[in-house]
């Protein structure tokens, strides 16, 4: 070998030079110093990101999660770099670890003994990865370990640390890893509160760590560069190290000073824009007060006679719906339920217009809101669409939300006096259902508070001798109409009538004589009775049947009715108000006898002796149904085998796919019509086989250098032929392509020969050759002219 002065490697020997200059990142695991500095940077930088996330959670479980997630992500990246895992191996390991640690860390309630994940926990983990971010942005902070809201933090810290360490240890530009915690920090800040100052101290600390690490990286890179160039003593770069650290220190002082100054001067009270400032929180009617609770306010004397709504174009007899209430906690009837994700509480945006399949009269109904109705947008019939008037029509249209289950609409931000819109609606005719002949439907509704003893007793009294839910409901409603008197309690001439619709008020309604109340109490009473009898029921607040095409509705026209779900009919509106009539004087207070069971605990029902009534067995005792048992056994085995085969097929599918893709590629190359393409394809096949067998092929290697790496004499011949075909002006010789492919097969066989079965399998399943060679695509300007 021709040695140049200073012991340099002869530049005329590309292979020797290549091996001397091959970057450590491509050829071998990272050096210990690089490994240590990169891991330290990863751990520290993501610790700072965790600190930025702290205001979001403020809970001990988050600290545990952060420590474990960052450590796990960093450890996997380090193992991947040290053991030279292929990309798919790293991804599999990452997913497996996330599956194992995810539930105990992020959904600890869904574990057995705090460690083993339950299936439900895995489901929550999966859904949290996708949906948790949105939930996190639409909930008040801090969230602690509420539901699966720790999942976003787990994903951010685990994946972030994994990416950071992987980029630092396994790519040609490790400094890019610094961008990952930077982005993570920005995301953590963006997920945080909008009324807190940016954590400047943490940001400065992150920058400090980043700069120190880059300085260390630069030192290692410089040393590698000198070694690659054949420098005798890489330690000549000591000056560079000193200068790097000096520069870094100076920058640190500047950055730290700037950070402190900014921290002192920045006003923490100033709101800043974070994601939750932009993300629109979903409309949640549960956050609004129950409109039924404010029912009595509509009858206050100064307001009662004022116009509340002007409605024109509505078919006669139609009703104006303001809100539909279906959950009751014993105090207030409300929209939706806190415990149950009730369909009635779910409001969605309407893009253009809805398709309505219900039969009925289609109408364009203009409604002018004279007196604000809060967040509720009055509707008539089945909602198809809405068109607002005025300059802000588009904005108002965008704020409309609809609950298709109840036909209730809401306007985010609320209606104002003067809000005018035209409803495109389908108004169905009210079904003429006879309740006495009906039976309960099966629509699911939120559970409500248990009926009081007073209600049960009254109901028992009025339905005595009546069988069936439908006749019972009809009898009870008839009793309300007979016994009830209407008083809003605002007219001094009328007897007092307390507002409210708690169980206590309903009990008072039932026990006082005369029975006095208004739509608030009677609708609640009727809804509770319907539920008691098995009918799904709900209360609708709105305005009763409209008499004419154009009508001005006064505030005291407000009323409430119930809707009951009747089998075969659906929701049927039922008016429950007693007729307005003179209220008789109050009867003396006599205790209403309430029948109560003497013992709160019911005696156990007598269990009938079923043994004697059992039908005689079809087979004699001791005789086993062998045929059925065998069939059952076979079916069980078949089912088990089927499941095992399905799982095995699922697991094997990626591997089979890899082998099939390689076979298809090889066939395409071998059968190419053009001899040049066939020859170059043959060379590619050799290169791919070498890559799959774990040989490192540097980016800058030529064919002959690759052939030397492969080490097979025929590979060298193939490289020369491919070079001639690719770069010489004349076309390949006749029959040359076939000879090339014979040599290709020989080289592939030689690569396999002498290897253990496991290595052969690994090569066959390797995906390295399926990835495109980095930087090996021929550029347009360099493409050979036709």
Q: What residues make contact with another protein under the rule CB under 8 A?
A: 1-5, 8, 10-12, 14, 17-18, 21-23, 172, 222, 225-226, 228-231, 233-234, 236-237, 239-240, 243, 668-669, 672, 674, 676-677, 680-681, 683-684, 698-705, 722-724, 726-729, 773-779, 781-785
**Shortest distance in whole angstroms from residue 25 CB to another protein:** 11
> What's the CA gap between 540 and 520, in Å, rounded?
10
Taking the least distance from each CB to another protein, the nearer of 18 and 321 is 18
CA-wise closest residue to 445 among 347, 325, 348: 325
Task: Indicate the DSSP class of residue 70.
Answer: H
Residue 632 or residue 742: which is nearer to another protein going by CB? 742
Contacts of 393 (CB under 8 A, 6+ apart): 387
Shortest distance in whole angstroms from residue 223 CB to another protein: 9
CA distance 490 to 505: 17
* Least distance between another protein and beta carbon 729 (Å): 5
Residue (of 406, 466, 469, 458) closest to 435 by Cα position: 469
Long-range contacts of 93-97 (CB under 8 A, 24+ apart): 94/159, 94/162, 97/72
Minimum CB–partner distance for residue 208 and another protein (Å): 24
DSSP three-state, residue 85: coil
The alpha-helical segments, DSSP class H, found in 331-426 are 393-398
What is the smallest separation between the CB atom of 722 and another protein, expressed in angstroms?
Answer: 8
| 8 Å CB contact between 509 and 562 | no
Instruction: Report the candidate in 390, 424, 387, 395 with the shortest Cα–Cα distance to residue 412.
Output: 395
In angstroms, give the least distance from the CB of 397 to another protein: 52
CA dist 66 and 154 (Å) reads 7
- Cβ neighbours, 10 Å, residue 637: 10
**Hey, CA dihedral for 740, 744, 745, 747, is it positive or negative?**
positive
Q: What is the DSSP letter of 491?
A: S
Nearer to another protein, 296 or 748 (CB): 748
Of the pair 225, 439, the CB lying nearest another protein is at 225
CB nearer to another protein: pick between 624 and 781: 781
| Cα–Cα distance, 205 to 196 (Å, whole number) | 19
Q: Which is nearer to another protein, 114 or 239 (CB)?
A: 239
Beta pairing, strands 558-566 & 570-574: antiparallel
Taking the complex as a whole, the smallest distance from the CB of residue 228 to another protein amounts, in Å, to 5
Q: Which lies closer to another protein via its Cβ, residue 704 or residue 760? A: 704
228-241 in b/e form (b: 16+ CB < 10 A) is eebeeeeeebeeeb
- Least distance to another protein from the beta carbon of 8, Å? 7
Is residue 571 within 8 Å of 565, Cβ to Cβ? yes
The minimum distance between CB 355 and another protein, in angstroms, equals 49
Give the other-Cβ count within 10 Å of 657's Cβ: 12
> In this structure, what are the phi and psi dihedrals at residue 538, rounded to the nearest 5 degrees?
-155, 165
Distance in Å, CB of 782 to another protein, minimum: 3
Minimum distance, C-beta of residue 771 to another protein, in the bound complex (Å): 14
Nearer residue to another protein within complex by CB, 172 or 349: 172
Q: How far apart are CA 44 and CA 264, in angstroms?
A: 25
Give min distance, CB of 86 to another protein, in A: 21
Least Å from the CB of residue 286 to another protein? 60
Nearer to another protein by Cβ, of 554 and 678: the residue is: 678
Residue 444: count other Cβ atoms within 10 Å of its Cβ: 10
CB 401 within 8 A of CB 410: yes
Dihedrals phi, psi of 547, to nearest 5 degrees: -85, -45
DSSP string, 657-716: HHHHHHHHHHHHHHT-SSHHHHHHHHHHHHHHHHHHTT----TT--HHHHHHHHT-HHHH
Nearest Cα residue to 153 out of 180, 135, 132: 132
Query: Closest distance between another protein and the C-beta of residue 707, in Å?
Result: 11
Residue 436's nearest CA partner among 396, 472, 481 is 472
Write out the E strands in 514-557. 515-517, 537-543, 550-554
In the bound state with another protein, the residue whose beta carbon lies nearer, of 69 and 679, is 679
d(CA 26, CA 698): 8
Identify which of residues 596 and 720 has a Cβ nearer to another protein in the complex. 720
C-beta closer to another protein: residue 22 or 739: 22
Nearer to another protein, 9 or 525 (CB): 9
3-class state of residue 316 by DSSP: coil
Name the residue nearer to another protein (CB basis): 726 or 745. Answer: 726
Residues in the chain, overall count? 786
């Amino acid at each position: 070998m021709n040695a140049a002065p200073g012991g340099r490697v002869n530049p005329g020997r590309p292979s020797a030079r290549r091996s001397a200059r091959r970057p450590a990142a491509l050829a071998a695991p990272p050096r210990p110093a690089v490994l240590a500095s990169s891991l330290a940077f990863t751990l520290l930088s993501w610790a700072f990101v965790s600190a930025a996330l702290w205001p979001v959670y403020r809970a001990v479980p988050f600290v545990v999660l952060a420590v474990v997630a960052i450590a796990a992500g960093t450890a996997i990246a380090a193992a991947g770099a040290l053991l030279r895992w292929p990309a798919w191996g790293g991804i599999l390991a990452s997913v497996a670890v996330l599956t194992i640690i995810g539930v105990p860390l992020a959904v600890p309630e869904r574990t057995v003994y705090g460690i083993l994940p339950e299936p439900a926990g895995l489901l929550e983990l999966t859904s949290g990865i996708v949906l948790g971010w949105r939930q996190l942005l639409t909930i008040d902070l801090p969230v602690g370990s509420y539901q699966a809201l720790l999942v976003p933090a787990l994903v951010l810290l685990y994946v972030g640390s994994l990416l950071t360490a992987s980029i630092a240890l396994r790519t040609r530009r490790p400094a890019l890893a610094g961008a990952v915690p930077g982005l993570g920090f920005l995301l953590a800040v963006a997920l945080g509160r909008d009324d807190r100052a940016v954590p400047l101290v943490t940001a400065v600390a992150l920058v400090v760590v980043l700069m120190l690490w880059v300085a260390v990286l630069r030192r290692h890179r410089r040393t590698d560069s000198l070694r690659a160039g054949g420098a005798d003593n890489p330690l000549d770069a000591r000056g560079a190290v000193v200068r790097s650290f000096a520069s870094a220190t100076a920058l640190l002082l500047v950055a730290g000073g700037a950070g402190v100054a900014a921290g002192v001067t920045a006003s923490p009270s100033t709101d800043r824009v974070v994601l939750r400032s932009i993300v629109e929180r979903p409309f949640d009617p549960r956050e609004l007060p129950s409109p039924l609770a404010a029912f009595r306010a509509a009858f206050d004397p100064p307001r009662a006679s004022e116009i509340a709504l002007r409605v024109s174009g509505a078919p006669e007899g139609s009703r104006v719906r303001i809100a539909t209430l279906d959950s009751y906690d014993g105090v207030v009837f409300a929209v939706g339920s806190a415990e149950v994700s009730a369909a009635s509480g779910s409001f969605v945006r309407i893009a253009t217009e809805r398709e309505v399949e219900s039969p009925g009269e289609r109408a364009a109904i203009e409604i002018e809101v004279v007196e604000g109705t809060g967040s509720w947008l009055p509707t008539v019939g089945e909602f198809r669409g809405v068109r607002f008037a005025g300059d802000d029509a588009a904005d108002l249209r965008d704020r409309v939300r609809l609950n298709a289950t109840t036909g209730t609409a809401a306007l985010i931000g609320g209606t104002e006096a003067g809000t005018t819109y035209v409803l495109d609606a389908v108004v169905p005719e009210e079904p003429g259902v006879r309740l006495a002949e009906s039976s309960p439907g099966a629509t699911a509704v939120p559970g409500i508070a248990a009926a009081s003893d007073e209600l049960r007793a009254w109901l028992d009294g009025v339905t005595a001798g009546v069988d069936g839910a439908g006749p019972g409901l009809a009898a009870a409603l008839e009793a309300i109409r007979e016994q009830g008197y209407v008083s809003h309690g605002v007219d001094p001439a009328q007897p007092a009538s307390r507002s409210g619709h708690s169980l206590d008020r309903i009990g008072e309604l039932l026990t006082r004589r005369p029975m006095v109340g208004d739509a608030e109490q009677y609708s609640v009473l009727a809804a509770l009775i319907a539920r008691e009898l098995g009918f799904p029921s709900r209360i609708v607040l709105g305005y009763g049947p409209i008499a004419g095409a154009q009508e001005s509705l006064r505030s005291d026209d407000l009323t409430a009715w119930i809707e009951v779900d009747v089998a075969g009919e659906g929701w049927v509106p039922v008016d429950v108000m007693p007729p307005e009539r003179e209220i008789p004087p109050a009867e003396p207070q006599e205790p209403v006898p309430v029948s109560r069971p003497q013992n709160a605990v019911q005696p156990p029902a007598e269990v009938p002796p079923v043994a004697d009534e059992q039908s005689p067995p079809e087979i004699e005792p001791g005789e086993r149904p062998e045929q059925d048992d065998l069939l059952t056994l076979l079916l069980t085995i078949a089912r088990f085998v089927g499941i095992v085969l399905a799982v095995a097929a699922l697991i094997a599918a990626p591997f089979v796919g890899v082998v099939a893709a390689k076979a298809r590629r090889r066939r395409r190359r071998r059968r190419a019509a053009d001899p040049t393409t066939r020859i170059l394809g043959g060379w590619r096949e050799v290169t791919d086989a070498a890559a799959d067998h774990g040989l490192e092929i540097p980016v800058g290697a030529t064919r002959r250098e690759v052939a030397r790496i492969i080490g097979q004499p025929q590979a060298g011949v193939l490289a020369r032929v491919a070079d001639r075909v690719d770069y010489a002006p004349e076309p390949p010789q006749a029959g040359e392509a076939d000879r090339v492919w014979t040599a290709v097969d020989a080289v592939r066989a030689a690569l396999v020969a002498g290897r253990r079965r496991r290595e052969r399998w690994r090569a066959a399943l390797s995906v390295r050759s399926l990835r495109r060679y980095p930087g090996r695509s021929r550029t347009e300007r360099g493409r050979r002219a036709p």
